[in-house]
Structure 1
Amino acid sequence: MSISTVSYALNGSPKVTGETSAKILAIAKELNYVPNAAARSLKKRETNIIGVFLTDYSGAFYGQLLQGMQEALAKKGYELIVCSGKETHRFLPERIVDGAIILDVTFPDEELIKFANLGSKLVVLDRELEHENIKQVLLHNESGATLAIDHLIDKGHKKIYAVTGPDISYDANQRLTAVRQTVGRHSDIEYQEIEGNFNKPAGERAAEQIVREYSGPAAVFCLNDEMAIGMYDYLSKTDYRVGKEVHIIGFDNIEVARFTVPRLATINYSKRKWGTLAAEHLVKLLANEHVQNERIYVSLIDGDSVQKIQ
């Protein structure tokens, strides 16, 4: 019996008789045969799997984002796998995934361009890259940071801190640039930056510094909510109260933000929509349909932790 006859039978082809097909399927069952997905994908040149590449899995940020991706992809018959680390980068050139969504600051631009040149279809959420096989779905970071600083100034604050993010983060750099531009338009504002890293310990360290050098009411823009929550935790162990001596605004509106007391003021956007749009754009790219770059708009949640200075 030829290899092609066995292959036809295993794949349900009408090119073999029912009797022959039944014999081959019986033998396959007896031998516990399982189709080789990798071999099948090599022949079809598709796997129906999409990879999302993340810097890491920590924090409370990713849940709604991934949910939006998964729901949108499932409607189109795709599965989603979450990847992190340099070894997973080979999934693209080896065609283990059909395409990828990138939110991984450790993934070099030049490597993404190389894969795009080889035909990989990509959607990036954390950088600006121009290539026919790459599309961008980015946050309106500048608008969000401007909203945050204007909000603090409108409340009457004259001393403002910004707790920054990682130097290699596109979002952090976009937000910080907008903060500097906005503060620069107000000569009467005392402005200071504290180095952060988008995690709770960085917020705790920032709060410690602010308490140490405290000389009067201060407002703080944390470039993400994780650091803002870290500040809350540290200040809860001191005599300095959030919303009284220290006024805080964050960015991302993660779920825990609504349970803080006082409620954390923050920059809000739909993480589910961000994930959905990224997935939908990638599916269109894979189908060779026209796709435009997109921006996710943001809004301000005016919590109780930024009160007006009397």
Structure 2
Amino acid sequence: MVSIKDIARQAGVSISTVSYALNGNPKVTEETTARILAVASELNYVPNAAARSLKRRETKIIGVFLTDFSGAFYGDLLQGMKEVLSVKGYDLIVCSGKQSHRMLPERLIDGAIILDETFDSKELASYAERGHKLVVLDRELKHANVNQVLLDNKAGAALAVEYLLERGHRKLYAMTGPRGSFDSKQRLAAATQVVERVGDASLTVIEGDFNKSSGEHAAAKLVMEGVIGPHGEPAAIFCFNDEMAIGMCHYLQRNHPDIVLGKHLHLIGFDNLELASFMQPRLATIDYSKRKWGAIAAEQLMKLICGQEVEQERIYVSLIRGETVGSATL
């Protein structure tokens, strides 16, 4: 790899002169700068971004760490971040996987937004202790260099369960996300608390993974067990995200068209994905602004980087009811 030493040798100048010229410093005359840039081009010189960032102590790049990129959830969230960061002169890179974690200690980014369960909280705390600026969306982590921007999962889960209870259901099913998911754990805790408070209701847990396919598999199992069917009382299911609820609906529409959504099955999701609004009948769900969530996370991170005071933020939710099908609702 070509270095500035190679450029200095060929151009017949000092290393510091090359460095000044490459960075547009007026200490170097236009003629010398032009000669150095020509040599750099001839040698196919590529600046070492890591070395430059260590010297300047900034990269103007923010990393957002996600567990994975599957599903339709992340688009609005990332767009909200990008809009804020672009105004501040920062670029955004999206990372996934444990190997990408080293971007923080190697200071290849100026700060990070975390929505990645593969990050251990102790690991993040150690980075914060070393001065790295972090915003977490998926855990509670208290440190001067960390800000929490959390979704109000408990309120959303309570709204979802109460929605089903209002329809006279006392035997409820809850389809969770991955075991390590902070959001799923909070939703399950709140759903369980509401059911226990009612006293005469029960909650059966179905393990899922937030993906459409797990919703399809769950629907097949519940049909086989007779929980979902065209006869008897309608089933009541709270899916912890819309992806799984949509998977259930697609399976039933393809394989059991005699089972009518909103009549034989009362279903509610979480996230209010755009696709949910096009379902017939409309899927009941818990709504919040993913774009706003991303924007607030980016704003808080910028404040941390600039040394400004920040407060813990919470993203509030609301209920979207399913449309009527005859005398029933979804």
TM-score normalised according to structure 2 size: 0.90
> Structure 1, unaligned stretches of length 5 or more?
none
Q: Name the amino acid aligned to 1:242.
A: L
Question: Residue 110 of structure 1 aligns with which residue?
Answer: 122
Question: Residue 66 of structure 1 aligns with which residue?
Answer: 78
Residue 18 of structure 1 and its aligned partner are, at CA, apart by 2.8
What secondary structure does 2:198 align onto? coil
Equivalent residue for 1:243, pick from 234, 247, 262: 262
Is 2:152–2:316's contact at 8 Å kept on the other side of the alignment? yes
What secondary structure does 1:184 align onto? helix
Is 1:123 the counterpart of 2:138? The answer is no
Instruction: Find the aligned partners of 1:78 and 1:143 in 2 and give their Cα distance.
Output: 34
**Which segment is superposed worse, 158-167 or 17-26?**
17-26
Q: Name the amino acid aligned to 2:75.
A: G
Is 1:247–1:305's contact at 8 Å kept on the other side of the alignment? no
Relative to structure 1, the CA distance from residue 216 to residue 210 in structure 2 (aligned partners, 3 Å threshold; closer, same or farther) is farther
Question: Residue 164 of structure 1 aligns with which residue?
Answer: 176
Size of the alignment, in residue pairs?
Answer: 309
Residue 21 of structure 1 and its aligned partner are, at CA, apart by 2.3
Question: Residue 290 of structure 1 aligns with which residue?
Answer: 309
Residue 235 of structure 1 and its aligned partner are, at CA, apart by 1.3
Question: Residue 140 of structure 1 aligns with which residue?
Answer: 152
> Structure 2, unaligned stretches of length 5 or more?
1-12
Question: Residue 99 of structure 1 aligns with which residue?
Answer: 111
Question: Residue 223 of structure 1 aligns with which residue?
Answer: 240
What secondary structure does 1:80 align onto? strand
Residue 300 of structure 1 and its aligned partner are, at CA, apart by 0.5
Residue 19 of structure 1 and its aligned partner are, at CA, apart by 2.7
Is 2:262–2:328's contact at 8 Å kept on the other side of the alignment? no
Deviations 1:185-234 (A, max 9, x none): 22232432212221112212222233222352111110111110111012
Instruction: Find the aligned partners of 2:36 and 2:205 in 1 and give their Cα distance.
Output: 71
Residue 308 of structure 1 and its aligned partner are, at CA, apart by 4.5
Is 1:200–1:227's contact at 8 Å kept on the other side of the alignment? yes
Is 1:162–1:221's contact at 8 Å kept on the other side of the alignment? yes
Q: Name the amino acid aligned to 1:82.
A: V
Residue 159 of structure 1 and its aligned partner are, at CA, apart by 2.5
Is 1:145–1:178's contact at 8 Å kept on the other side of the alignment? yes
Residue 40 of structure 1 and its aligned partner are, at CA, apart by 1.4
Question: Residue 276 of structure 2 aligns with which residue?
Answer: 257
What secondary structure does 1:185 align onto? helix
**Which segment is superposed worse, 7-16 or 85-94?**
7-16
Q: Name the amino acid aligned to 1:170.
A: F
Relative to structure 1, the CA distance from residue 30 to residue 147 in structure 2 (aligned partners, 3 Å threshold; closer, same or farther) is same
Instruction: Find the aligned partners of 1:81 and 1:105 in 2 and give their Cα distance.
Output: 18
Instruction: Find the aligned partners of 1:297 and 1:3 in 2 and give their Cα distance.
Output: 55
Instruction: Find the aligned partners of 1:195 and 1:34 in 2 and give their Cα distance.
Output: 50
Residue 305 of structure 1 and its aligned partner are, at CA, apart by 7.0
Instruction: Find the aligned partners of 2:50 and 2:324 in 1 and give their Cα distance.
Output: 53
Is 1:248–1:305's contact at 8 Å kept on the other side of the alignment? no
Instruction: Find the aligned partners of 1:308 and 1:182 in 2 and give their Cα distance.
Output: 23
Q: Name the amino acid aligned to 2:95.
A: C
Question: Residue 203 of structure 1 aligns with which residue?
Answer: 215
Deviations 1:72-112 (A, max 9, x none): 11110111001011100100000011110000011111110
CA RMSD of aligned residues (A): 1.6
Q: Name the amino acid aligned to 1:260.
A: M
Residue 280 of structure 1 and its aligned partner are, at CA, apart by 0.7
Is 1:138–1:295's contact at 8 Å kept on the other side of the alignment? yes
Q: Name the amino acid aligned to 1:67.
A: Q
Q: Name the amino acid aligned to 2:298.
A: A
TM-score normalised according to structure 1 size: 0.95
Is 1:213 the counterpart of 2:226? The answer is yes
Instruction: Find the aligned partners of 2:77 and 2:118 in 1 and give their Cα distance.
Output: 19
Instruction: Find the aligned partners of 1:127 and 1:62 in 2 and give their Cα distance.
Output: 18
What secondary structure does 1:81 align onto? strand
Residue 155 of structure 1 and its aligned partner are, at CA, apart by 2.1
Is 2:215–2:245's contact at 8 Å kept on the other side of the alignment? yes
